Amino acid sequence: MRILLQRVSEAQVAIDGDVHGAIQQGFLLLVGAEDSDTSEQVDYLVHKISKLRVFEDEAGKMNLSISDVGGSVLSVSQFTLYANTKKGNRPSFVAAGDPKHANQMYEEFNQKLSATGLTVETGVFGADMQVSLINDGPVTIWFDTDQP
């Protein structure tokens, strides 16, 4: 799995002009899956993200987790995280997971992240979505279970 995490002061996802999910302070997660992804990889990512200390403490150091600051998560599926741009000018997405498996991994990830006590808002798997955000910092972190 691949996840692009952005620390945000706010974020939302809209579908056909209607807001489907919105958060204030927290993480916007762009989530992609491939066919070889497993529940163990989901567990690894849930642990890493729920414990990640990237919010500032009273001394201005990134030392607090999302739970410490009462933050929320907006999780958006994004198969384009598996784009291959090595040949030509049109990306290939053959490494992206079969939609059925990728959706299963995305749903499992969101459920397990929610089970940690975090509020998790989501987009809709496979939908044409418009994502807006204010990246706080900016802080943007890449997770790839093929390179833990």
Beta bridge partners of 75: 29, 122
The answer to whether residue 109 is catalytic is: no
Q: Tokens 């790839």 label which residue?
A: 144
Please classify residue 133 by burial: count the beta carbons closer than 10 Å to its beta carbon, then call 0-12 exposed, 13-18 middle and 19+ buried.
middle
Rg for the chain, CA atoms, rounded: 15
The answer to whether residue 80 is catalytic is: yes
Active-site residue among 12, 78, 122, 145?
78
The answer to whether residue 78 is catalytic is: yes
Q: Going by DSSP bridges, is the β-strand pair 26-32/2-15 parallel, antiparallel, or unpaired?
A: antiparallel
Active-site residue among 38, 80, 111, 130?
80
**Helix segments in the chain, DSSP class H:** 39-51, 99-115
Active-site residue among 55, 79, 125, 143?
79
- Which region holds residue 135: left if phi is over 0, alpha if psi is between -120 and 50, else beta? beta
Q: Which residues are catalytic?
A: 78-80
